[in-house]
Homo-oligomer: A and B are copies of this chain.
């Protein structure tokens, strides 16, 4: 497979960055994981930061693609929101390490990539916000501060990354369902 060694490198970097944080991860740590010398890493990548870019932007594009999928198919705002949440949770659970880097480590990106990353993230937030706005217009959702509600929803769907265990008893679909119900109807009877 072409680039398979590069793929392996990115995978190991993802795990390392997720576990120790970008700044606390050294190229020598990573080289050790790969079973090679630190200097040899640079035949696969140009810099430590480049790996962070690859990880963050790949994840950002996955989320944006999910948004397109939602907007292409579903009509009702509640269904749209449920679908968006389901896809979001699915993306996170499919690769918790990469998600952790996407959520917590992007700030170590250098310009101009950092700015570009924030733009993509904003685009995603806007997509969720549009769904909520539609729900308001359809008289399905309460009238709330849309920005506030968007960020609150994203916080709950991102947080699962902190405790999600692939070996745990809850499957991504169940998590998404519970979360959607919580977001839509709250805690009160």
Contacts and interface: CB of A to CB of B under 8 A. Distances in A.
Nearest to A145: B178
Contacts of A179: 152
B21 A149 contact: no
B189 A186 contact: no
A contacts with B: majority SS: helix
How many copies of the shown chain assemble into the complex? 2
Contacts of A187: 81, 132, 135, 141-142, 144, 149, 183-184
Interface residues of A, number: 39
A78 B187 CA distance: 10
Given A152-B179, A182-B152, A189-B140, A24 B159 contact: no
A23 to B, nearest CB: 4
A104 interface: yes
B151 A159 contact: yes
Contact of A21 (B21, B152, B154): B21
Interface in A99-115: 104, 107-108
A151 B182 CA distance: 12
A56 to B, nearest CB: 15
A114 B159 CA distance: 20
A24 B141 contact: no
Nearest to A188: B184
Interface of A: 21, 23-24, 78, 81, 104, 107-108, 132, 135, 139-142, 144-145, 148-149, 151-152, 154-156, 158-160, 162-163, 170, 178-179, 182-189
The 8 A-B residue pairs with the shortest CB-CB distance in the complex, in nearest-first order: A155-B159, A186-B186, A23-B23, A23-B24, A185-B186, A184-B188, A184-B186, A141-B187
